[in-house]
Chain A
Amino acid sequence: MTTPTSPSQNASRTVHFRVWRGNREGGAFANYPVTVSEGMVVLDCVHQIQATQAPDLACRWNCKAGKCGSCSAEINGTPRLMCMTRMDTMPPDQSVTIEPMRSFPSIRDLVTDVSWNFRVKTKIKPFKPRKPDNADGSWTMMQVDVDRVQEFRKCIECFLCQDVCHVLRDHHKHDEFIGPRFLMYTAALEMHPLDTEDRLKDLKDNDGIGYCNITKCCTKVCPEHIGITDNAIIPMKERVVDEFYDPITRLFRMFKPRN
């Protein structure tokens, strides 16, 4: 975590940026000097490069406050949001390298094709609530019952967890594995107090939950500090095991079939 510094301690300095420029066919790093002053984040530096040196440098961004999850990139090799990475947390007197997320196909420069994520989401069975509890169409839910789901719903869909996950990044299991973002999305639906749908078979058969071997890289890079592995994926793994692999439960079910 950063500490406040007074302006006198932090006068403008020049930092050299190495930014990946290219498209589907390939590319290379380009060098840009940037004048950095107090409080600047990496995204400010990219904007300065656009405004003064390379107006066609492609990057995504929207809110500039860590709320929309658009400006995901790899900064000095670590998946991060550019808008929340302060320059004074970078090692001084060293260049800063920015690359696009490497788990997704390149479109141009820092922009990648993340459309796979949007396709994956449509395949997950949607929210299916029980009938309203009250005459005005509302439901009664206690805060303690929604705390866990609210944690997952903080997700800003920056896809940094998908970028860092070795099942996708190194093993390219995009057709068999939905990645941490959507395992957590499924968990949020399964743990929603009102939901009546069952997605456990999908998790086992189609979503590849077994591929996750709990290295927790996704949790480490999450800018919202969501406990993706501990709070979402592991409980879902446990439910899948209970449902499909627990011999006692199977025996019990022979006498009391699921409704």
Chain B
Amino acid sequence: MSLSDRYIVHEHDVLVIGAGGAGLRAAIEASGAGVKVGVICKSLLGKAHTVMAEGGIAAAMGNVDDRDNWEVHFADTMRGGQYLSNPIMAEHHAREAPDRVRELEGWGAVFDRTKEGKILQRNFGGHRYPRLAHVGDRTGLELIRTLQDHGIHQGMEVFMEMTVVGLLTTSGRIAGAVGYDRERGRMRIWRAKAVILATGGVGKSFRITSNSWEGTGDGHALGYLAGAELMDMEFVQFHPTGMVWPPSVRGILVTEGVRGEGGVLRNSEGKRFMFDDIPDAYKAQVATDEEEGWRYVCGDKNANRPPELLTRDHIARCINREIKAGRGSPHGGVYLDIGWIKEKMPNAADHIKRKLPGMYHQFKQLAGVDITTERMEVGPTTHYIMGGIAVDGDTQMSCVPGLFAAGEVTAGLHGANRLGGNSLSDLVVFGKLAGEHAAKFAKSTTVAEVDGAQVDAHARAIEEPFERTGGENPFVIQSALQDSMQDLVGIVRTEKELQLALVKIAELKARHAKLSVTGTREYNPGWHTAIDLSYMLIVSESITRSALERKESRGAQFREDYPEKSAEAGTFNLLTKRAADGSMTVMRRPIVPMRADLTAIIEKMK
């Protein structure tokens, strides 16, 4: 019996897995190159996690401060990433982001405007000048809707609510993917000459997270199992400001835009604690007092930024320190106060509602807090992974021929810590590059034969949980994994706890192999969670092993037993690879060397 008798078979030149900002931008580019494109979304089109991005998209257009240009943005990104970023990618990103933003405007995006009618840009952590094009605090929605509404007219075929369970390879080269549709649970094969992973992040492996159910590291795990390398997996970004109360909303994001608009962090004693600890690399760029910080927010070019606009890794640790020292808020966070700006401006309440409508609405409705008059309680939340599929900086292709990656699932741009606003720009800059090069690759080759045995193995594997009875509920195992990762592989890490985490992950793998699911294959969340768990376990192991191997504190990785930065550890990235026997290995690779002209930019901007 042929494959098409047993499975639904689709054929494309380029298959894009994931329909957030990166996936859609890649699909638009590939479609424009004249190849046949398929896009698989895990949810409905337009619901991907990009929609949750709030503050803005970083692009050195210089609309608000004409001193800004791509060189400053490049230097800011490298500094924020603690010099582990791939400089080739950081250069592409800084140079091309302005064009990608203007392109969005040409596709119908409507950004907030300056008085002169240009695209308005706002301040954000780690960016020297106001750089984030935005629409209030719903920039991600604007981005994904623009790409969606433009994309549906470019000829791509969209597969909504389908999940990929394996990449297919033939003689080491990509041949397509296999998965199922949520509605009926039917197995499908997508044959393709090139595949682009654009599956986003892994936050769901932690208990407190801003990520939705989708953030289970599918692309990370699929790529790893197909032979790609994962890089920088120890670097998980804990966003400093997530909601902490009530419990049901714990972890939901509070945009950095609140601080960009003048919001300040205070402890239970009312002190602005961020002034107490300013890293050396930023001393020259931070305000000396509150008054100077406010002038910066108002656009005074001679003022330095308030310390609330330092990088996320640092602020998350400072908040953690205040809470541990007993200076936290009643529900285990600290206070974020934007209402105080009424001392500085008339109509402050209206200003806040106009600049931060989503935050106003979110706190009012979910927490009963009016942010124009009351302080918010906030604390760190798992938000983003800097690590992911290792790719070539110019083409976005992994070490598996024909397998590309773009967006959060990719490593390289953000190094040890991502700057706010650099994610949306990452999506469109590298989405475009991946789409362009995947189309080029597809045009240069024929479709590889699909190995039926690989497909059958996947089909059997996903059916197994139904055949077992009396096993654990997948949600119980998912919750146990989230607890382990949160408690043992969180903001502050130690050798002992990381080792314990590995033991726990091994136990959970064994439990995962025995779980069972009830019901049918039709839209069954328990079954879907059982499948997602296999990805989450792989990703969690990779994060933990990499965190163990990096014996220093840098960016998002803070090791209590190695609290200092090590010069030697700044010379390598860590790679996770699958060994021939199926075991996971972590190895060092020297960082990508920087060209002399780029080094000169870094020196100039110091």
A153 with B51: CB separation less than 8 A: no
A38 to B47, CA, bound (A): 28
The answer to whether residues A69 and B47 also contact, given A55-B474, A127-B108, A140-B118 and a CB cut-off of 8 A, is yes
Residues in chain A near residue B141, CB distance under 8 A: 67, 153-154, 156
B523 with A111: CB separation less than 8 A: yes
Residues in chain A near residue B369, CB distance under 8 A: 4
Question: Closest A-chain residue to B331, C-beta based?
Answer: A7
Q: Which of A10-65 contact B (CB under 8 A)?
A: 23, 37-41, 44, 50-51, 55-65
B113 with A141: CB separation less than 8 A: yes
B248 with A39: CB separation less than 8 A: yes
Q: Which of B455-490 contact A (CB under 8 A)?
A: 473-476, 479
Question: Closest B-chain residue to A156, C-beta based?
Answer: B141
Residues in chain A near residue B140, CB distance under 8 A: 67
Q: Which of A124-159 contact B (CB under 8 A)?
A: 126-127, 129, 132, 136-143, 146, 149-150, 153-154, 156-157
Query: Taking the nearest CB of chain B, how far is it from the CB of A200, in angstroms?
Result: 19
Among the 9-residue stretches A115-123, A212-220, A248-256, the one with 4 or more Cβ atoms under 8 Å from chain B is: A115-123
The answer to whether residues A40 and B248 also contact, given A51-B476, A66-B362, A137-B106 and a CB cut-off of 8 A, is yes
The answer to whether residues A108 and B523 also contact, given A39-B246, A141-B113 and a CB cut-off of 8 A, is yes
Q: Which of B123-158 contact A (CB under 8 A)?
A: 135-136, 138, 140-142, 145, 149-150, 152-153, 158
Number of interface residues of B (CB under 8 A): 73
Interface residues on A, range: 35 or more
B113 with A138: CB separation less than 8 A: no
B368 with A3: CB separation less than 8 A: yes
The answer to whether residues A136 and B102 also contact, given A108-B523, A153-B142 and a CB cut-off of 8 A, is yes
The answer to whether residues A55 and B519 also contact, given A129-B106, A136-B102, A137-B106 and a CB cut-off of 8 A, is yes
A47 to B362, CA, bound (A): 20
A227 to B65, CA, bound (A): 35
Query: Taking the nearest CB of chain A, how far is it from the CB of B496, in angstroms?
Result: 31
A132 to B171, CA, bound (A): 48
Is A234 among interface residues, defined by CB-CB distance under 8 A?
no
Among the 9-residue stretches B294-302, B524-532, B560-568, the one with 4 or more Cβ atoms under 8 Å from chain A is: B524-532
Q: Which of A66-102 contact B (CB under 8 A)?
A: 66-70, 84, 86
Query: Taking the nearest CB of chain B, how far is it from the CB of A131, in angstroms?
Result: 10
Residue of A51, A57, A192 most packed against chain B (CB within 10 A): A51
Residues in chain B near residue A129, CB distance under 8 A: 106, 108
Question: Closest B-chain residue to A87, C-beta based?
Answer: B248
A50 with B526: CB separation less than 8 A: yes
A109 to B99, CA, bound (A): 45
A127 with B43: CB separation less than 8 A: no
A153 with B145: CB separation less than 8 A: yes
Is B203 among interface residues, defined by CB-CB distance under 8 A?
no
A57 to B520, CA, bound (A): 11
Is B394 among interface residues, defined by CB-CB distance under 8 A?
no
The answer to whether residues A58 and B51 also contact, given A65-B253, A67-B138 and a CB cut-off of 8 A, is no
A202 to B253, CA, bound (A): 41
Of A4, A55, A67, A154, the residue contacting B368 (CB under 8 A) is A4
The answer to whether residues A56 and B108 also contact, given A70-B44, A143-B113 and a CB cut-off of 8 A, is no
A247 to B531, CA, bound (A): 64
A150 to B137, CA, bound (A): 12
Question: Closest A-chain residue to B45, C-beta based?
Answer: A118
Interface digits, B104-119 against A, CB 8 Å rule (1 contact, 0 not)? Answer: 0111101011001111
Q: Which of B352-370 contact A (CB under 8 A)?
A: 358, 361-362, 364-369
**Which A residues are within 8 Å of any B CB, using their own CB?**
1-5, 23, 37-41, 44, 50-51, 55-70, 84, 86, 107-109, 111, 113-115, 118, 121-122, 126-127, 129, 132, 136-143, 146, 149-150, 153-154, 156-157, 189, 192, 195
**Which B residues are within 8 Å of any A CB, using their own CB?**
43-49, 51-52, 98-99, 102-103, 105-108, 110, 112-113, 116-119, 135-136, 138, 140-142, 145, 149-150, 152-153, 158, 160, 183, 212-214, 245-249, 252-253, 358, 361-362, 364-369, 473-476, 479, 517-520, 522-527, 529
Q: What are 15 A-B residue pairs whose CB atoms fall within 8 Å in the complex?
A: A1-B365, A2-B365, A38-B247, A39-B246, A55-B524, A56-B517, A57-B525, A58-B525, A64-B249, A118-B45, A118-B160, A127-B149, A137-B103, A138-B118, A150-B136
